[in-house]
Amino acid sequence: MSLQILTIPCRTDNYAYLAHDSATGATAVIDVPEAAPILDALARHGWQLSDVLITHHHGDHVEGLEEVLAQAPARVIGAAADAHRLPPLDIAVSEGDEVTIGSETGRVIDVSGHTVGHIAFHFPDSGAVFTADSLMALGCGRVFEGTPAQMHASLAKLAALPPETLIYSGHEYTKTNAAFARTVDPDNPRLAARTDEITRTRAAGQPTVPASLAEELETNPFLRAHDPAIRAHLGMTGATDIEVFAEIRSRKDRF
């Protein structure tokens, strides 16, 4: 069995996800940007919330929690490292810990960089990883609290997952990410094709998430600091991967 996963647009450009285990009826929400769309989706499907998985402390990922719990009590799981600045946790987890949604078992990956204490949740049997503001479709989160080296190491852990893994990230930033990616990797035909596809998907009002890791490995510049064409384009052929990654990240910050 694998989790049935629903993408729930929230606020202006956030995504929450409902992950439902039909074997047990357990249902988790991953991040809680706001309550109403999540409660609506639960009601529409007749699902009862069992778990809340929080990726990091930013308001646009937790602000709906209190209201959701008032209507749909559930156990709350988040990073032990961030327990002091997250809403009250029932289970505090760290890298390598197991998390269950009914009969499905996931694993916590520390993906610090955007914040220190940001975690991702990988469910191998469902081929899904919830990455929020670490790895995003054609992008990665801005490095607010960690260092570029830390973000690079976090993305490397995600890049090592099976290539068919679907990446469920926290925001709809893909169109801007594609435009930026083209500036550092202009001759990548797969990136050009994906950019066209994204334009069509967004024009139809559809989410561009999830995206497969295989697709990200071929087109996301933040996973491609080793790529000779990108290095040549940046004039950084002799630099380390971390230096190239840091340069791409700082160009994106100014984009």
Site residues for Zn ion, 50-69, by CB under 5 A, read 58
By C-beta, is 111 or 234 nearer to Zn ion? 111
Is the Cβ–Cβ distance between 133 and 14 less than 8 Å? no
Measured from the CB of residue 89, what is the shortest distance to Zn ion in angstroms? Answer: 18
Interaction residues for Zn ion, span 120-149 (CB under 5 A): 133
Binders of Zn ion among 153-212, rule CB under 5 A?
none
Beta pairing class for 128-132 and 166-169 = parallel
For the CB of residue 105, give the shortest distance to Fe ion in the complex, in Å: 26
CB-nearer residue toward Zn ion: 58 or 224: 58
How many Cα atoms are found within 13 Å in the side-chain-facing hemisphere of 161?
A: 32
Shorter beta-carbon distance to Fe ion: residue 63 or 241: 63
Least distance to Zn ion, CB of residue 90, Å: 22
**Core vs surface per residue 45-78: b (16+ CB within 10 A) or e:** eebebbbbbbbbbbebbbbbbeebbeebebebbb
Q: What is the helix (H) or strand (E) element at residue 81, kind and residue range?
A: none
Residue 35: CB minimum distance to Fe ion, A: 17
What does the binding site for Fe ion look like in residue numbers (CB under 5 A)?
Answer: 60, 133, 170
Distance in Å, CB of 170 to Fe ion, minimum: 5
CB 184 within 8 A of CB 224: no
Q: In this complex, which beta carbon is closest to Fe ion, that of residue 54 or of residue 68? A: 54
Q: Which residue is nearest to Zn ion (CB)?
A: 58
Contact (CB, 8 A) for 87 and 65: yes
φ, ψ dihedrals at 82, nearest 5°: -115, 15
Residues that bind Zn ion (CB under 5 A): 58, 133
